[in-house]
Amino acid sequence: MATNLRRTDVVIIGLGATGGVAALPLAQAGLDVVGLEAGTWLAPADLSPDELRNNFRGWPQTVQKANREVPTHRPNASAPYSPRPAIHPMMNAVGGTTLHYWAQSWRLNPWDFKVVSDTRRRYGAAKLPKGTTVEDWPFGLEELEPYYDKVEVEIGVSGQAGNVGGKIDPRGNIFEGPRARAYPMPPLRGTGFTEMMAGAARSLGWHPFPGPAAITSGRYEGRSGCVYHGFCNRGGCHVSAKGSTAVTTIPKAQRTKRLTVVTEAHVTSIDVDAQGRVGGVTYRKGSEEFFQPASVVLLASYTYENVRLLLLSTSKAFPKGLSNNHGQVGRHYFSHNQIATVNALFPRNLNTWYGLPAQGIAVDDWADDNFDHGALDFIGGGNLWIYSDRRPIAAANMSTFGRAPRWGAQWKAFIRENADRGNTAYLQRTTLPYEDNYLDLDPAVKDPLGFPVCRITADYKENERRLADFTQDKMTQWYRAAGAVATQKTPVGTMGPTTHAYGGTRMGDNPETNVVDRWGFAHEVPNLGILGASVMGTSGARNPTLTAQALAWRTAEHLAANWKSIAT
């Protein structure tokens, strides 16, 4: 029998990227917030520069919830299951995956909010890919701009603005939408390699710029500047330069005395009353079960767990899962088309042993609708990104470009010469939702508590494949212009478990096709808010976290401003 706890105003499920942000405006508004986090606090000394632990062993010192709930995947409903990874791409801790994410903190570009109407207007309706369920967002970039701005300041984003109030600055991204003001910090510094690549991009007539990152480029709000030590990628930051919510918004919210953080709280259901309103959540901590009553619940775990918890939370009012009477929970799922990339081999050492994935140069000339698609057979585009980052095991696992076998004396000779001569781009591309890509509960595979894990049924379609090929060609051109002697395109892959998982609880005005309304509250359950990329209907060509955080702030602020109508 669950122990009943004292009622609170708001309970947040998950104190990661979005829950950790939403807690702050709620607490500042004077609402009592309980944050339920499956993981624990991690200290800077826990975040060691250890490639084996961080990149191969799934953070053994943290709570192993996510790693035991890795979603299953099949490309389509009649295809065999893909091999199930041993490690979940996300982790459990206060701050969640913002502890070890790359921290690239992009705003979406204006086109990403109106893919349908812009495509119709510029190319005609027939240009939209067959089977896509994409919709325009219920608002444009200008609606989200103030929230991007708030989050950039709170977590500390460094970057070079390219468009302040409509004034274009060629040092930044000339394609970005207007910003109210510059970034709170200048961009992370360049390196010999990134400067070499920027020069090559300019020689092609492109517009390279340093990308934005939630990483301090100097001292900021009492936090150290980045030390570029090379273990940022799936490693945490031992000097708290990474703007994880664990070192920014969560402690700030705690200082209001309105936020209570409960660690090692494993939420198993969101519970509704007879009227179909959310009444609180049930969670386990150790061997004990608790019920936390709340006037409002914000679900902020991660796309897979958001969907799974809704589907597991069945009741008389919601027999198919919470807020799923329209059958939209799990629909419009997509993972970012970012697997296909380009490997390059240079005839010289690049000295990229240090740095971080966010220390790089972007090219947006081939992203979104920044170029004419009239003669092309796809819509959307890709952000081309190169960066300084290498660790020894990863270096040893580099491609041999057909120049050596995978092992033995010849391999050893190859790796001795080339370990610091390879580079791999990061290419993020427009990805669309389709009618037959979705999430549901796996009929067979269960977690240790006996609950079904999330199942992904999804694959990339023609638009994603053509776009991948196109951006790989552009990237190849860039590498060759910089002097690469060999390049190699990698396959597009499939939509297995990923850190960029979108949709499943999409945001939109139409309750027939969307789970949450334009404010992030469930159409069917007015006191249930949902945070995270699961509400996003398009991906853009860039990392989702800042957009998910801006949306989370906006949802929280809306809740505080409309407390009476939402909470009662």
Partner 1 sequence: MSADNPDRPDGLSRRALLGRVTALGAFVALTDVLPSAGDAEAQTRRAPAREPLETLTQAEADNLEAITARLIPADPAGPGAAEARAAHYIDRALGGALAGSRDAYRAGLAGIDAYARAAKGAPFAQLAAADQDAVLSDVERNTATGFEGAAAFFNLVLSHTVQGTFGDPFYGGNRNFAGWDLIGYPGVRLAVAAEQQNLDAKPAATHMSAYDYSMFSSRKPAHGD
Residues 6+ apart with CB under 8 A from 126: none
Nearest approach in angstroms of CB 399 to partner 1 is 14
Alpha-carbon 48 to chain mean position: 23
Which among 102-110, 158-166, 403-411, 436-444 is the span making contact with partner 1, rule CB under 8 A?
403-411
List the one residue from 3, 351, 562, 565 that touches partner 1 (CB under 8 A): 351
List the one residue from 109, 191, 463, 514 that touches partner 1 (CB under 8 A): 191
List the one residue from 165, 288, 407, 448 that touches partner 1 (CB under 8 A): 407
Unique residue bearing structure tokens 């469930």: 522
The number of residues that bind partner 1 (CB under 8 A) is 52
Helices (H), 124-230: 141-155, 192-203
> For residues 39 and 95, what is the distance between their CA atoms, to the nearest angstrom?
9
Please, what is the Cα angle at 361 between 356 and 363, to 5 degrees?
140
Nearer to partner 1, 170 or 483 (CB): 483
Nearer to partner 1, 192 or 491 (CB): 192
For residues 543 and 426, is the Cβ–Cβ distance under 8 A?
no
> For residues 286 and 256, what is the distance between their CA atoms, to the nearest angstrom?
28
Nearest approach in angstroms of CB 322 to partner 1 is 35
Radius of gyration over alpha carbons of the chain, in Å?
23
The verdict on 203 binding partner 1 (CB under 8 A) reads no
By CB under 8 A, what part of segment 506-565 binds partner 1? none
**Residue 136 DSSP one-character state:** -
Q: How many CA atoms lie within 13 A of 1 on its CB side?
A: 2
> For residues 115 and 270, what is the distance between their CA atoms, to the nearest angstrom?
34
The verdict on 409 binding partner 1 (CB under 8 A) reads yes
Nearer to partner 1, 413 or 485 (CB): 413
User: DSSP letters of 379-410?
Assistant: ---EEEEEEE---HHHHHT---TTSS-SSHHH
List the one residue from 371, 401, 411, 451 that touches partner 1 (CB under 8 A): 411
Nearest approach in angstroms of CB 407 to partner 1 is 5
Nearer to partner 1, 28 or 349 (CB): 349
The verdict on 196 binding partner 1 (CB under 8 A) reads yes
List the one residue from 7, 57, 326, 465 that touches partner 1 (CB under 8 A): 57
Query: Binding mask 135-154 vs partner 1 (x if CB under 8 A, - otherwise)?
Result: --------------------
10 Å Cβ neighbour count for 388? 27
For residues 291 and 269, is the Cβ–Cβ distance under 8 A?
no
Nearer to partner 1, 195 or 473 (CB): 195
Q: Identify residue 368 by its one-letter amino acid code.
A: D
> For residues 38 and 66, what is the distance between their CA atoms, to the nearest angstrom?
9
List the one residue from 86, 180, 485, 561 that touches partner 1 (CB under 8 A): 86
Nearer to partner 1, 177 or 211 (CB): 211
Query: Binding mask 223-242 vs partner 1 (x if CB under 8 A, - otherwise)?
Result: ----xxxx-------xx---
By CB under 8 A, what part of segment 29-48 binds partner 1? 43-46, 48
Q: How many CA atoms lie within 13 A of 255 on its CB side?
A: 6
Nearer to partner 1, 180 or 485 (CB): 485
Nearer to partner 1, 61 or 117 (CB): 61
Query: Which H or E run includes 12?
Result: strand 8-13
In the chain, what is the straight-line distance between the N-terminal and C-terminal CA atoms, in Å? 27
Residues 6+ apart with CB under 8 A from 227: 239, 241
The verdict on 87 binding partner 1 (CB under 8 A) reads no
Query: Binding mask 251-290 vs partner 1 (x if CB under 8 A, - otherwise)?
Result: ----------------------------------------
Nearest approach in angstroms of CB 25 to partner 1 is 34
Residues 6+ apart with CB under 8 A from 163: 169, 172, 173, 174, 176, 177, 178, 179
Nearer to partner 1, 176 or 389 (CB): 389
The verdict on 355 binding partner 1 (CB under 8 A) reads yes
The verdict on 419 binding partner 1 (CB under 8 A) reads yes
Nearer to partner 1, 137 or 346 (CB): 346
Unique residue bearing structure tokens 């790089």: 360
Among residues 277, 259, 278, 256, the alpha carbon closest in space to that of 269 is found at 278
Nearer to partner 1, 180 or 393 (CB): 393
The verdict on 406 binding partner 1 (CB under 8 A) reads yes
> For residues 285 and 264, what is the distance between their CA atoms, to the nearest angstrom?
6
Query: Binding mask 359-398 vs partner 1 (x if CB under 8 A, - otherwise)?
Result: -----------------------------x--xxx-xxx-
For residues 462 and 128, is the Cβ–Cβ distance under 8 A?
no
Q: Where along the sequence are the contacts to partner 1 (CB under 8 A)?
A: 43-46, 48-53, 56-57, 60-61, 86, 189, 191-193, 196, 227-230, 238-239, 348-351, 353-355, 388, 391-393, 395-397, 406-413, 415-416, 419-420
